[in-house]
């Protein structure tokens, strides 16, 4: 039996759930405490990684503990045969799938997480208390005022962890838009992401674009609709989950208030994230540094830069 350690809403974790189900393996999930990570600490930290993260798996059959989503997919493919393959085809195709996984982890997964969380913070920050604290304090974090304070506090912590307030000055929205437009052009008329067969690359793409479904700048982009259609189709084909709580939370918030959109601008920027050999990049920063003192300002002011609440997109706002 394989144990998957996860944070359920993480798109890196969804990728592994989809892959395990696609392969038809027996597995169970263990939700971790995002702060203490107690469940992960029962296993030794893999030497090539600096800190505990999810997804991680423990395979009771081999007694192996593997962390980081693409190494997990590689492990599953290498250790389970006679199941639908994650890396089908010849060696060239397999290498291309592997390269696409690292590309998606780095260029799609990292910024999509950033913009997804930013959207939650701007539209319904209280939801963060449900995501991170529902298992703590015997329900106290679900009571209205405490939920609201906790949501704000968590939003500030997350903004420091991922430097959400820098996205606008770095041109990250435009940089991801350029990456996705290029991807959409590459995939035009093609059923699968690599070659002519379904693979882990299709699974990874479907999971990793999910956070962008709540960001109007991307979700309503006229030239990106094919990518979102591909996401929906792949999730349905794999019997994946419907809307996640953050998607429903934002949809409900939009029944009360208009969505938060961006003022458009013309800017050329590229994604600054980098992979490291056969490992993907990440963008996590230390939370408890002196820089934390400036975070309330960034949270309440910088994060709102170029954002407007408005029901419909216009020529200058989406
Ligand atoms: N490159 C990693 C990224 C995993 C990652 O960043 N996981 C996040 C959840 S989405 C995490 O564990 N965060 C815990 C933390 O920031 O301390 C992968 O592909 O699995």
Q: How far apart are CA 190 and CA 3, in angstroms?
A: 34
Note the pLDDT of residue 236: 97
Considering the domain architecture, whether residues 248 and 114 belong to the same structural domain is answered as: yes
Q: Is residue 84 part of a domain?
A: no
| Beta-carbon-side half-sphere exposure of residue 124 (alpha carbons within 13 Å) | 23
Say what percent of the chain tops pLDDT 90: 92
Is 180 in the same domain as 224? yes
106 CB near ligand 1 (under 6 Å): no
Residue 208: how many CA atoms within 13 Å on its side-chain side? 25
The verdict on residue 295 lying in a domain is: yes
Decide if 225 is inside a domain. yes
Residue 13 and residue 109: Cα distance in Å, rounded? Answer: 11
Give bridge partners of residue 5 from the DSSP assignment. 30, 56
281 pLDDT tier (thresholds 50, 70, 90):
confident
Whether 7 is in the pocket of ligand 1, judged by its Cβ within 6 Å, is yes
Q: How far is the CA of 12 from the centre of ligand 1 (A)?
A: 7
Q: pLDDT tens, 154-210?
A: 999 999 999 999 999 999 999 999 999 999 999 999 999 999 999 999 999 999 999
pLDDT at 136: 84
Q: Is 14 in the pocket of ligand 1 (CB under 6 A)?
A: no
**What is the number of domains present in the chain?**
2
Task: Calculate the average pLDDT of the chain.
Answer: 96
How far does the centroid of ligand 1 lie from the alpha carbon of residue 69, in Å?
Answer: 9
- How many A from CA of 277 to the centre of ligand 1? 18
pLDDT of 139 reads 84
> Residue 242 belongs to what domain range?
94-123+155-309
Residue 131 falls within a domain, yes or no? no
Atom of ligand 1 nearest to the CA of 67: 20
CA of 60 to the centre of ligand 1 (A): 23
Would the CB of 284 count as within 6 Å of ligand 1? yes
Structure confidence at residue 259 (pLDDT): 98
Task: State mean pLDDT over 94-120.
Answer: 98
- DSSP β-bridge partners for residue 6: 31
Within a domain: 150: no
**Considering only CA atoms, which of 279, 314, 280, 238 is closest in space to residue 112?**
280
* pLDDT tens digits for range 113-163: 999 999 999 999 999 999 999 888 888 888 889 999 999 999 999 999 999
Q: Which two tokens stand for residue 241?
A: 């989950």
Q: How many CA atoms lie within 13 A of 242 on its CB side?
A: 1
Give the residue, by CA position, lying nearest to ligand 1 atom 11.
53
pLDDT exceeding 70 applies to what percent of the chain? 100
CATH number of residue 16's parent domain:
3.40.30.10
Pocket test for ligand 1, best of 5, 54, 283 (most atoms within 8 A of CB): 54
């Amino acid at each position: 039996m394989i144990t998957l350690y996860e944070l359920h809403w993480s798109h890196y974790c969804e990728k592994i759930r989809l892959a395990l189900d696609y392969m038809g393996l027996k597995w169970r999930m263990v939700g971790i405490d995002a702060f203490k990570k107690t469940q992960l600490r029962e296993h030794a930290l893999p030497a090539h990684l600096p800190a505990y993260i999810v997804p991680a798996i423990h395979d009771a059959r081999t007694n192996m503990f593997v962390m980081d989503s693409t190494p997990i997919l590689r492990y599953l493919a290498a250790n389970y045969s006679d199941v639908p393959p994650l890396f089908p085809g010849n060696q060239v195709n397999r290498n291309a799938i592997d390269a696409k996984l690292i590309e998606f982890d780095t260029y799609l997964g990292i910024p999509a997480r950033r913009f997804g969380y930013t959207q939650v913070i701007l539209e319904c920050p209280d939801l963060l208390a449900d995501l991170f604290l529902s298992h703590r304090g015997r329900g106290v974090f679900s009571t209205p005022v405490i939920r609201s304070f906790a949501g704000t506090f968590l939003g500030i912590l997350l903004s420091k962890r991922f430097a959400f307030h820098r996205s606008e000055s770095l041109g990250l929205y435009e940089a991801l838009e350029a990456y996705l437009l290029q991807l959409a052009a590459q995939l035009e008329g093609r059923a699968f992401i690599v070659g002519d067969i379904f693979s882990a690359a299709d699974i990874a793409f479907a999971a990793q674009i999910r956070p962008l479904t709540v960001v109007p700048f991307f979700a309503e982009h006229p030239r990106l609709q094919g990518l979102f259609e591909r996401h929906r189709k792949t999730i349905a084909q794999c019997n994946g989950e419907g809307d996640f709580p953050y998607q429903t939370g934002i949809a409900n918030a939009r029944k009360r208030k208009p969505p938060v959109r961006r003022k458009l601008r013309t800017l050329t920027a590229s994604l600054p994230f980098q992979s490291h050999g056969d490992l993907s990049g990440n963008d996590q920063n230390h939370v408890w540094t002196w820089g934390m003192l400036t975070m309330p300002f960034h949270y309440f002011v910088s994060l709102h830069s170029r954002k407007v609440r408005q029901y419909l997109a216009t020529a200058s706002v989406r």
